[in-house]
Amino acid sequence: MTDLTTLTSWHADWKGLRVAVLGLGMTGFAAADTLVELGATVLVVAAKAPEEHADLLGVIGAELLEVPGLDAVPPRLAEFDPELVIVSPGFHPDHAVLLWAAATGIPVWGDIELAWRVRDKVRAAEWITVTGTNGKTTTVQLATHLLAAAGHRVAAVGNIGVPVLDAVRDPIGFDVLVVELSSYQLHWINQTPEGSLSPLASVCLNLADDHLDWHGSADAYAAAKGKVYDNTRIAAVYNLADEATMHMVEEADVVEGCRAIGFGTGAPGPSDLGVVDGIIVDRAFHDDRRNSAFELTTHGELAAAGLAAPHSVSNVLAASALVRAYGVAPAVIRDALATFRIDHHRTETVLEADGVLWVDDSKATNPHAAEASLRAFERVVWVVGGLLKGVDVSRLVERQAARLAAAVIIGVDRTELREAFERHAPGLPVFEVAATDTDDVMPEVVRLSAAAARPGDTVLLAPAAASMDQFTDYGDRGRRFAAAVLDQLRSPSDSSADDSAGGAADDDHSESGHGAGEPGAPTA
C-alpha cells in the first residue's frame, strides 16, 4: 500500500498507486490524465462517458468502466481495490460508491486536493480562492484581469471552466491561479493535514440557501463554503453586508498573521475597502490606513465599464481586495477596470425597443442572484423558473413584489412560484409558458413579456433556478432568450443590437459539475 501522506509533490513517487476516478467530464478526465502522467494505475468509473473523453482514455492508458445509472458499487471497482478515490464535483456525498469507500477506509479526494499536492510540477503558483453563492465567476474574472494588467502570468481556473489540474501542468507555469470553488469542490478539500490547501488570499462573497438538495442542510452548505478560508496566509476577505461571511472568517483556522479584510458599498473602516462619495477606496492596504485611503476608481468609471449595479460594485471591491493582497498597485487597478467587460448572461442588455429594456441574466440560477439582478431595475417583467433545487422562493417574491409589473413562469418547478405570487403579489399579472419543446419556450416568453411590458419597464430573464429541465445549461437558456428577443423585436434598421448577443457557447460549470458523466445538481 502506498503511503498517501508522502504524496505532497509532483515529484513524489506516485507510480503504481491504484486510483479510481469517479466521473468523466472535464474534471474527471483531467484527474485521470494527471494520474496516468504521474505513473498511477487508473480506473475511471462513469455513468456516461463523453465519446471524446472515452476515446482519449484508451490512448493515455487509463481503463474506463461505464455503468449506466451507477447507483451501486460495480464488481469491477471492488475487484480493482483502489487505494484512493478521486471524486468529480457532481457526485453527492451519499453516493453508493462514496459510502462504500468510507466504509472500507479508502480515502476520497476532490480534484482540488490533488491539484494542490502536485502544483509544483513546473513552479508552484500562488493560489487565490473564491467562493460564494453568487458573483464567483465575475469576481474571478475581475481578479484575473487585474493581475494580468499588473504583468503577472495568471489563469482563472476551477469551477469557472478550466480544471486546476490542467493549469498546474502548463509547461510554462503561472505566477498566480485564481481558483473559483463551488460548494461541491470545497466539501472535499482539506480532509488531510498533509494536503491542506493554503491560499494566499481567499473570499466567500456571500451566503444564501442553495443546493440544499446536495448538501442536505443549510448548515452543511455554509460549512462547505467556510472551508475556503482554511489555512489562508495573507488576507481572508469577507463581505461587510453578509454577517455569515464574517463569522466564517472568525471561525477559520488561518495562518498566523493573516488579516481579515472587509469589503462593502458603504464607507470603509481601517481594514476595509468601500465607497466614499462615489469613490471606490482601499483603506486596508494603506500604511496609514487609519487616516488615509487609496483611490481605486469612481462609480462613474465603473458605470462606463458596465459595473455600476450594486452587486457588480461589490464584486469589484472583493476582487480588488484579493489582488491588493498580492501587491497590485491602485493605479493598475484603476486602469484595468476601465477595460473589463462582464461575461454574457450576467445582467447583459439584449435590446432596447419601444422604451422597453430586455436583459439576460440567465446566470441568476438561484434566488439570491435573481434578487441582486431585480434590484438593479425599477419596474420589471420577470421571467422566472426552472429547477429550484429545493430552495424556497417565497421570501424573494415577497421582498421584490413592489417592483414587479408582471411575471412569466417557465420550467418544471411551477407550483412553488404560483403559490408565492398568489400569497405575496395577489394582484400581479402572472403568465405561464405552455410550450414544453425547448425551441418553443423562449419565443413564447418574448410574446407574453412584450404584451405585458410598458415603456420604462425592463423584461428581465433572472430565473432564480437551474436550467437543465428545458435547456442544456444557463448559457443555452440565455442565448435562446436573446435570439427570440432579437428575432421578434429588432427592426431591420436597428443597428444598436449586437447580432452576437448571448455570445459563444458557455461551459456551464456553475450548473453541471464540469460536464457529462458527472451526476448531480448545479454547483455554487
**Which amino acids are annotated as binding site, given as ranges?**
132-138
Residue type present at position 522: P
Measured CA to CA, the distance from residue 320 to residue 272 in angstroms comes to 11
**Do 252 and 230 touch, CB atoms closer than 8 A?**
yes
Q: Which amino acid is at 283?
A: R
Q: Is the torsion defined by CA of 306, 307, 312, 316 positive or negative?
A: positive
Strand order across the beta sheet in which 108-110 lies: 63-66, 41-46, 18-22, 84-87, 108-110
Instruction: Quickly list DSSP for 188-242.
Output: TSS-SGGG----SEEEE-------HHHHSSHHHHHHHHHGGGTT--SEEEEETT-
Collapsing DSSP to helix, strand or coil, 249 comes out as helix
Which amino acid, one-letter code, is at 3? D
Look up residue 187 and give its amino acid: H
Secondary structure class of 178 (helix, strand, coil): strand
Binding residues for ATP: 132-138
Strand ranges of the sheet holding 294-298, from the earlier edge strand across to the other edge? 154-158, 176-180, 126-131, 201-204, 235-239, 259-263, 272-276, 279-282, 294-298
| 257 contacts: CB under 8 Å, gap ≥ 6 | 233, 234
Cα separation, 113 vs 95, whole angstroms = 20
* 117: phi then psi, degrees, rounded to nearest 5: -70, -30
